[in-house]
Each structure stands twice: as structure tokens, then as C-alpha cells.
């Protein structure tokens, strides 16, 4: 039996059971056959609840296949059991329970009143405003109406490289955070047998981080919600989550710090000389960090336009294409469309960044806060709802000496 059929059967049984229960609550005695029927309905409703849960779980497992998120923390809750659909339904009914309630309470601690439901970032991040979706038009939601539907095919998205390259992540923040740095040491000197060293002192700086909100919103029709029991979970996880994560990843690279995070490229890092030979440019980037005594495992990041340039570099004598590993001097290199290719005085250059990415800090002040609003005038009369997603986060390079960049000219 389809999930929708099970829900309709449960709703009918619940309505009949409610009628009998209200009659008894009003002081009317139930006849023997009515009491027997009430007991049977209660048993049937509980059985249907179990069948619905199992059907939803099966649909979700079939959709995700091997893509179940796994936590690296052995003490962390099993988020594979977390259902965004159950969380939203519970929020709409004013009653969360199970793992969804546990995670909401944990993520809401210290945040005062929370209007929506707090969703773990691991569910959605690993995040533009959309037009209204409905079940009648294919591109606006009709493709998700259940008949015999295969797993939802995601669209192509930018590679999220900031955390993948090793940025430090601090979750569960409440107040603003300050990252102190030892910026300069004192000096040491040779002294004679009874000499005294010169008195010096160290200097300190700090980098401040505060929550900044990135948000996305969908409008969903009543029919879309009724007919996409498992597919809607895929939309919420893969799409809303990636919208927020993509915005954060791009801002961590090139945000201007005005209402959004201050990205690496706008934090005052060194711009090195771009040489005619690409390997000389990468050598300049490596040397810039080495001359500041920055040690550790660094990595390069550029845009697809930058990699297009790399793949065209050839030896002048033999016309042999030089392997990228040689051009990057054996260091790790990655690319993403989040890495800007409109920098420079004429906004026509591509960025090539080299850095010790563990010196970039990402802070999360919340999980993904999802608020379903069925009362907005745009959707209320049609029985739909607006779905808002919010994430409070920030990003900042802790020490700018750990990064350098070059501007590449790509045709």
C-alpha cells in the first residue's frame, strides 16, 4: 500500500476515533459496540502509524542508497534516523518527538525563543530565493509527484572546498567569539657573564567573529506536499542545504565583511607577482608563505578558468603538456566555481590562492533553522506554505600571513 493510502486510512480511523472519544469526554456513556469499536480503532491507528514509519523509512533508504550521512563522532546521535519530513510535520502540529525533538532541544539551548525547528547542520550542509513550486507544472514541482519515481537527480553545483581543504570548524557557538593571536615576539640577545638582557615584550592581536545569517526560501503548494512524501525530503536536504552551504563557501573565499563573512581574498593577504611561466607564479606563492615561516600542509585553489590555463601549459621545445602536479610543485590543488574569476582592476582576472587552510575558521551559531509558514498571504488561501531556511555562521582567516594569491589572465 502506498504511503499516501496509509495516511488517508489513518486519517479516517482517527476521525472516527475522535468522534467516539469526544462523546465519552462529554459525559455520554458509550454502548458496548461503540467501546469495542473505539478499542479496535485505537489498535488500528497504532498499527498504521508503524506501517507509515516503515514505509517512509524504506522510501528514504531507497532514495539515499549509499549516501547516508555518517558522523565521525562515535558518541554523536545516529543522524541516519533523522527525518526532516517528521520534523516539519511535528512543528506544524506543535509537537516534536523522538530524535527530531532531541536535536531541536540541543540546538536551541541558549538561543531564547526559536520560532521554527532547528535542524543539525550535518543533515543539510555537506547551503537565493526560488519561485513558487506546485504539482501541476513539471519544472515547478510536478516532476516530484509520486507515481513510480526513481531517486531525484540533483543539479550540478559548485564544489564546496573551504572545509574540504581543512578549514577549522567551530560548531555550537552562542556569543561572539574572539580568536587571539601572538603577532610579534620580543627579542633575545647575547649577554656577558654579569650582563642583563634587554627587556622586550610580545604583541597580540585578535580576530572577531559574530553570527551572520544566510537564508533561502521556497513556496510549496498543498498538492506538492501531499504527493511528494519522500522526494520532498531530498529537496530539503540536497537543495536548501546546498544553497546555504554554497553561499557560506563563496563568502569565506571572497566576502567583503559587510553583512557577510570577510573572505580570504579581501582580508589583506599578499598578492604575489604573476609570472609568464605558471610554475614561477606558484613558486612565488609558496615562497611568500615560507618567508613568513608559515609551515604545514598547504593547498592551491582556483576556478575552472584557472585550471583551463593549467591544462594548456606545455614545454616550449617538445610541445608536451606539463602535468599539473609539476606546475603546483607537488602540492595539493583544487578548483571550484566559488573561487572568483572576476577580480583585478578590470574585474577580468581569475584568482589562484595558496594557503594553510587550517588558519581559516568557520563558526556555526546554529543548526539550519527551518520555519514552515502556512499563514503568509501568498500561500494561505491555497493551502500551501512558505518554507524558510536560516543559518547563523561566520568565516574569517585567523592569520593573513597564511594565505597569498595571484591574478591569472585567462582568455
For the chain, domain boundaries: 1-67, 117-185+201-411
Residue with cell string 574572539 = 178
Q: For the whole model, what pTM was predicted?
A: 0.65
Stretch 97-107: mean pLDDT, rounded? Answer: 83
Is residue 144's pLDDT more than 60? no
Is residue 340's pLDDT more than 50? yes
- Residue 72's pLDDT band (cuts 50, 70, 90): very low
pLDDT > 90: percent of the chain? 33
- CA-closest candidate to residue 151, choices 162, 143, 142: 143
C-beta separation of 242 from 248 below 8 A = no
Q: How many CB atoms lie within 10 A of CB 9?
A: 16
- Show the cell assigned to 296: 604545514
* Rounded distance between C-alpha atoms, residue 381 and residue 396, angstroms: 44
Q: Which of 61-75, 115-129, 291-305 has the highest mean pLDDT?
A: 291-305
Supply the pLDDT for residue 141: 57
Is residue 353's pLDDT more than 80? yes
**In the beta sheet, which residues pair with residue 371?**
388
Going from the C-alpha of 143 to that of each of 7, 196, 226, 229, 384, the distances in angstroms are 22, 81, 14, 13, 18
Supply the pLDDT for residue 19: 84
Is residue 69's pLDDT more than 60? no
Least confident of 37-41, 54-58, 61-65, 173-177: 61-65
Supply the pLDDT for residue 78: 67
- Show the cell assigned to 228: 511528494
Stretch 86-96: mean pLDDT, rounded? Answer: 75
**Beta-sheet strands, E only, within 186-331:** 203-209, 212-220, 270-271, 299-302
Supply the pLDDT for residue 126: 55
Supply the pLDDT for residue 350: 96
Stretch 185-192: mean pLDDT, rounded? Answer: 83
Supply the pLDDT for residue 70: 41
Is residue 316's pLDDT more than 90? no
Domain 117-185+201-411: top CATH class: alpha beta
Stretch 270-292: mean pLDDT, rounded? Answer: 95
Stretch 140-155: mean pLDDT, rounded? Answer: 57
Stretch 212-235: mean pLDDT, rounded? Answer: 73
Amino acid at each position: 500500500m502506498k504511503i499516501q493510502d496509509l495516511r488517508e486510512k489513518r486519517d479516517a480511523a482517527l476521525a472516527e476515533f475522535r468522534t467516539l472519544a469526544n462523546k465519552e469526554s462529554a459525559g455520554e456513556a458509550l454502548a458496548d459496540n461503540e467501546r469495542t469499536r473505539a478499542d479496535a480503532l485505537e489498535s488500528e491507528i497504532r498499527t498504521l502509524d508503524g506501517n507509515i514509519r516503515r514505509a517512509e523509512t524504506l522510501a528514504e533508504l531507497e532514495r539515499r542508497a549509499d549516501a547516508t550521512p555518517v558522523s565521525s563522532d562515535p558518541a554523536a546521535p545516529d543522524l541516519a534516523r533523522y527525518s526532516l519530513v517528521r520534523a516539519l510535520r511535528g512543528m506544524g502540529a506543535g509537537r516534536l518527538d523522538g530524535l527530531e525533538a532531541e536535536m531541536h532541544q540541543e540546538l536551541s539551548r541558549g538561543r531564547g525563543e526559536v520560532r521554527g525547528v532547528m535542524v543539525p547542520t550535518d543533515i543539510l550542509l555537506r547551503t537565493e530565493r526560488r519561485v513558487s513550486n506546485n504539482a501541476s507544472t513539471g519544472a515547478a514541482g510536478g516532476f516530484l509527484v509520486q507515481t513510480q519515481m526513481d531517486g531525484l537527480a540533483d543539479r550540478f553545483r559548485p564544489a564546496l572546498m573551504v572545509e574540504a581543504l581543512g578549514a577549522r570548524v567551530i560548531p555550537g557557538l552562542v556569543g561572539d567569539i574572539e580568536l587571539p593571536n601572538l603577532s610579534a615576539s620580543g627579542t633575545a640577545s647575547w649577554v656577558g657573564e654579569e650582563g642583563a638582557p634587554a627587556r622586550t615584550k610580545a604583541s597580540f592581536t585578535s580576530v572577531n567573529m559574530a553570527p551572520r545569517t544566510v537564508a533561502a526560501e521556497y513556496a510549496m503548494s498543498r498538492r506538492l506536499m501531499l504527493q511528494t512524501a519522500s522526494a520532498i525530503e531530498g529537496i530539503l536536504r540536497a537543495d536548501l542545504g546546498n544553497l546555504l552551504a554554497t553561499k557560506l563557501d563563496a563568502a569565506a573565499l571572497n566576502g567583503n565583511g559587510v553583512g557577510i563573512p570577510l573572505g580570504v581574498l579581501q582580508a589583506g593577504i599578499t598578492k604575489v607577482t604573476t609570472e609568464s611561466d605558471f610554475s614561477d607564479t606558484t613558486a612565488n606563492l609558496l615562497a611568500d608563505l615560507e618567508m613568513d615561516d608559515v609551515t604545514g600542509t598547504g593547498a592551491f585553489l582556483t576556478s575552472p578558468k584557472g585550471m583551463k590555463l593549467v591544462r594548456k601549459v606545455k614545454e616550449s621545445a617538445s610541445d608536451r603538456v606539463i602535468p599539473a602536479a609539476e606546475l603546483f610543485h607537488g602540492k595539493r590543488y583544487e578548483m571550484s566555481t566559488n573561487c572568483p574569476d572576476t577580480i583585478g582592476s578590470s574585474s577580468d582576472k581569475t584568482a589562484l590562492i595558496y594557503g594553510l587552510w587550517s588558519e581559516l575558521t568557520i563558526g556555526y551559531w546554529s543548526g539550519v533553522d527551518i520555519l514552515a509558514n502556512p499563514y503568509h498571504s501568498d500561500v494561505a488561501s491555497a493551502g500551501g506554505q512558505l518554507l524558510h531556511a536560516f543559518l547563523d555562521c561566520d568565516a574569517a582567516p585567523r592569520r593573513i600571513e597564511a594565505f597569498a594569491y595571484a591574478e591569472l589572465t585567462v582568455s
